[in-house]
Amino acid sequence: MTSELVDFTLVSVALLGIGIYGLAVKRNFIRMLFAVEIIINAANLNIVAFGRFLPHSGGQTMALFSIAIAAAEVAVGLSLIIVAYRMYQNVDIADFRSLKG
């Protein structure tokens, strides 16, 4: 293996930056979910890379748990999108303000 640990961490940092940009700028609920997915994947990449270079099997185990939990999160997030879309006929989060005081 010729790639170093720092290469993988740099890719992970780039993905984290892109995800945070998406969360900060986009107001589309679905796109914000995309951004969250990108951030979760950056974290998984970091976990597996560090687990490879230690080397310890805990990294891969942790990544498997993380992938499964992310699947649960996406299922709930998408059903929330469907409910909100049914209520407001829109996916713009600026319109979802019925909880605002």
Site for other proteins in 9-48 (CB under 8 A): 9-11, 13-22, 24-28, 30-31, 33-35, 37-38, 41, 44-45, 48
Q: Which residues contact 33 (CB under 8 A, 6 or more apart)?
A: 74, 77, 78, 81
Give 94 or 100: the residue with its C-beta nearer to other proteins: 94
Which residue from 54, 97, 98, 99 is in contact with other proteins, where contact means CB under 8 A?
54
CA distance 28 to 46: 28
Helix (H, G, I), strand (E, B) or coil at 10: helix
> Minimum Å distance from CB 42 to other proteins?
8
